[in-house]
Amino acid sequence: MAQTRRSSVAAADLLAPLTGEEISAAVGILTEERELGAKSRFAGVYLNEPPKEKVLAYKSGEEAPEREAFVIVLDGSNGETYEALVSLTQGKVNSWEHAEGAQPSIMLDEFDECERATKEDPEFREALKKRGITNLDLVCVEPWSAGFYGDDDGDDDKRRLLRTLVYTRLEPGDNPYAHPVDDLVAVFDLNSMKVVRVEDFGVVPVPQEKGNYTPEAVGQMREDLKPIEITQPEGPSFELNGHEISWQKWRFVVGFTPREGIVLHNVTYRDGDRERSVLYRASLAEMVVPYGDPDPVQYRKNAFDAGEYNIGALANSLELGCDCLGEIRYLDAVMADSRGNPLPIKNAICLHEEDFGLLSKHTDFRTGQVDVRRSRRFVASFIATVANYEYGFYWYFYQDGTIEFEVKLTGIVSTAYASPEESPKYGQLLNKEGLYAPIHQHLFNVRLDLDIDGRENSVYEVHTEAEPIGSENPHGNAFFAKPTLLKSEKEAQQVVDSMAARYWKVVNPSVKNAVGEPVGYKLIPHGNVLPFAQPESHIVKRAGFATKHFWATPYKPSELYAAGDYPNQHRGGSGLPEYTKDDRPIENEDVVIWYTLGSHHTVRLEDWPVMPMQYAGFKLQPIGFFDQNPSLDVPPPGGNGHCHHGG
């Protein structure tokens, strides 16, 4: 195979995602060298990032580090999983390892194949017939990950399984989630492409009331909305060079993987004549959606949408004026299908800037002098559809040095049947026919490899305490922020305490600001929640990362995912609980912090038939990183300073 060595590339290109041509080349090299057969499937083909130290030391003009593809191969003949590193630089396989016992994420075409094969199964058809359903063209078989619950029969743990939920339409184009065919599950083996068994918990009514939400179904639309035009006649204020963004004083690389979606690399802020490092890598490290209904069908609904489904591969192709509004630039993403063919997603990443209200304002009441600065933020986002739900993932960069991560949740709630004569304990009735949506949670974990002015950082927990009345507080009014150095991984495992105004900060002890304190950034929680499932439950064992909001680990390049490399059908204990079991020191280390954020969804009637947007997130805010407000040089609005006036 011909070599594709590049003697020199731009530093940002080292972290650019694989192109379609590179995916094809990697698959071709691996197929030829390992003599892969027709039953081999490619569960992932994406960039194997060069070592951190090489990326940070690299200068344009030098010989570039080797460009490699990381490839996950599922051998369909024996169900075994293998990991390969393929050198695109040298045109050869650098490594091939057996990932013993691992089940890779479910591939897109496996969903389609499962639905088709399930509909052909005689036992499944008979179960539908018992419910009066004979038109298979209207039946929707929705594959869900099988998980692990310790109650499986026979050799289920040796199979590659899906558990299907079933819905039906009343007519083509109808919303199937309005008509769950409840208490019917087909357990499906993806290796044999056959139904293992049909679990029929009894015939219950299929709700018939429609739940359509398109303008055609709704009818009369509001007529009192005037147009809002967002224009930038001179173009946007950011520059896009390949995958590198330069906006205001920020500079960073936007990557993308099938598992994580957007990945931010090498985030820096220009402070005077210094370009200062803030983040080396940031990404979604896992998410899980546990449902709170003990019903025999509903309790199995616990999807790890990143590790089990590859949420990045489920990204939408975004449309101007619909998903993104303004002067937009897009980046495409290229995934691989299970046969190793490039699968482009056009306009997967939306890049733009937007007005964000006031940045600062002060009126000198003595002189009438008013100073106003308007805030503008840069947005990098993508939206993924995971069956019934849509998730929007947004990274915001602000002019004052703040970074924010926000998840927006919409789509359609997962539905079931409950007796309309009773008020269900574990969810909400949506109509009088028994359409029902269980209570559930969405728990996300974000991995943040912070490099605050360099790689050697320390972590503090900071909360506020009231000073007891005494000689230091004779009037009872005193309170103060108390920092505590977190010296090891176990000390760092913490939860949000909003009543104590708790936050966590990462500092560089060797770099001091104007008052002699170490420079830092702090993580500020927004609203949050912990799992309500019991600690001994299988879902909590498998999603151990969700039991704490805050974790910190010393940097290790192989530790990327909060629930481990292969959560699909894993029994639990992997990921952050395993990473931190040795209680490694984190003081003055190249430290990585992990933050779990949650959205608690007690379903409302107003969430049906399509859910208004819900939000969850956090902020990274400079704390002593700058010597003063870094946004003082943002000009007043209007260009002519008309808001900067005297009374």
Which are the catalytic amino acids? 305, 389
**Who contacts 338 (Cβ-Cβ below 8 Å, separation ≥6)?**
41, 42, 43, 107, 108, 109, 110
For residues 198 and 172, the answer to whether their CB atoms sit within 8 Å is: no
How many other C-beta atoms lie within 10 A of the C-beta of residue 236?
16
- Which amino acid type is present at position 110? E
364 alpha carbon, distance to own chain's centre:
44
Please tell me the distance from the alpha carbon of residue 421 to that of residue 428, in angstroms, as a whole number. 13
Q: Which of 419, 437, 616, 396 minimizes the C-alpha distance to 527?
A: 616
For residues 242 and 358, the answer to whether their CB atoms sit within 8 Å is: no
Please tell me the distance from the alpha carbon of residue 53 to that of residue 168, in angstroms, as a whole number. 54
Q: What 3-state DSSP class applies to 389?
A: strand
What is the β-pairing status of strands 479-486 and 458-466? antiparallel
Please tell me the distance from the alpha carbon of residue 17 to that of residue 170, in angstroms, as a whole number. 43
Question: Kind and range of the H or E element at 630?
Answer: none
Q: What is the dihedral of CA 437, 441, 442, 444, to 10 degrees?
A: -170
DSSP 415-441: -EE--TTS--TTEEE-STT-EEEE-EE
Please tell me the distance from the alpha carbon of residue 492 to that of residue 458, in angstroms, as a whole number. 11
Residue 17 burial by Cβ neighbours in a 10 Å radius (0-12, 13-18, 19+): buried
What would the two tokens of residue 268 be?
A: 């820096």
Please tell me the distance from the alpha carbon of residue 325 to that of residue 385, in angstroms, as a whole number. 20
**Who contacts 399 (Cβ-Cβ below 8 Å, separation ≥6)?**
248, 249, 359, 375, 376, 377, 630, 631, 634
Cis amide leading into 609 (omega within 30): yes
What would the two tokens of residue 1 be?
A: 């195979």
Radius of gyration of the chain (CA): 26
What would the two tokens of residue 513 be?
A: 């600001």
Please tell me the distance from the alpha carbon of residue 264 to that of residue 277, in angstroms, as a whole number. 13
